[in-house]
């Protein structure tokens, strides 16, 4: 049993010290996941990994954490919160009233900033929502790998499946999502 699972169980039993231990124990892991995800974002992306972690933490309940069953439940919820934050920000940037569709110039070197990052993120999200209706477990794997940046091994452990199963699901999911995005 991981330390996180133990602390979550202690919190459920009402241990006040466990609630104080949780943020420091998970912060570094969440920060690493956020940094991995943010490294794949478009250059015009202004959200920093630390801000993503903090916003996700607030959405998860901050100091008033709900009852988490285990580490997998918590990190699944964290991945979903990060995904929703990134999707929300991408949609806001694309909104016409916020200058969506306008070309941005980088003041430092006057290169044109590519809008492909947000377009791709929104396309993946739309396809993922359709996929989740048909294959919820495989969609959860995609969220953990794509949005939270987990490896096959980490995602498999979080979902309670074997690593080979996670790899097969990942191959299937990528093909399904590619087809859904290509036929849009």
Q: What is the pLDDT of residues 127-162, one digit of tens each?
A: 999 999 999 999 999 888 887 778 889 889 989 999
Is the separation of the CB atoms in 177 and 124 below 8 Å? yes
Whole-prediction pTM value? 0.51
Closest among 169, 136, 139, 135 to 152, alpha carbons compared = 169
Percentage of the chain lying above the pLDDT 70 cut: 78
Measure the CA–CA gap between 95 and 29, rounded to whole angstroms.
32
Contact 82, 57 (CB under 8 A): no
Q: What is the pLDDT of residues 30-66, one digit of tens each?
A: 777 777 766 666 555 567 778 888 888 788 876 676 7
For the chain, domain boundaries:
3-182
* CA distance linking residue 23 with residue 11, whole number of Å: 12
Rounded average pLDDT over 80-90: 84
């Amino acid at each position: 049993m991981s330390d996180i699972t133990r602390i979550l169980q202690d919190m459920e039993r009402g241990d006040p010290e466990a609630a104080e231990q949780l943020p420091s124990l998970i912060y570094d892991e969440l920060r690493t996941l956020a940094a991995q995800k943010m490294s794949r974002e478009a250059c015009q992306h202004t959200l920093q990994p630390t801000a993503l972690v903090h916003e996700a933490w607030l959405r998860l309940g901050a100091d008033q954490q709900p009852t988490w069953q285990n580490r997998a439940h918590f990190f699944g919820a964290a991945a979903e919160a990060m995904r929703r934050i990134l999707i929300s920000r991408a949609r806001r940037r694309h909104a016409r009233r916020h200058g969506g569709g306008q070309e941005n110039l980088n003041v430092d070197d006057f290169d044109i900033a590519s809008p492909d990052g947000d377009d791709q993120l929104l396309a993946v999200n739309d396809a993922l929502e359709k996929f989740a209706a048909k294959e919820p477990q495989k969609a959860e794997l995609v969220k953990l790998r794509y949005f939270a940046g987990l490896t096959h091994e980490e995602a498999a452990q979080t979902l309670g499946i074997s690593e080979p199963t996670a790899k097969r699901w990942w191959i299937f999911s990528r093909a399904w999502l590619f087809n859904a995005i290509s036929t849009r």
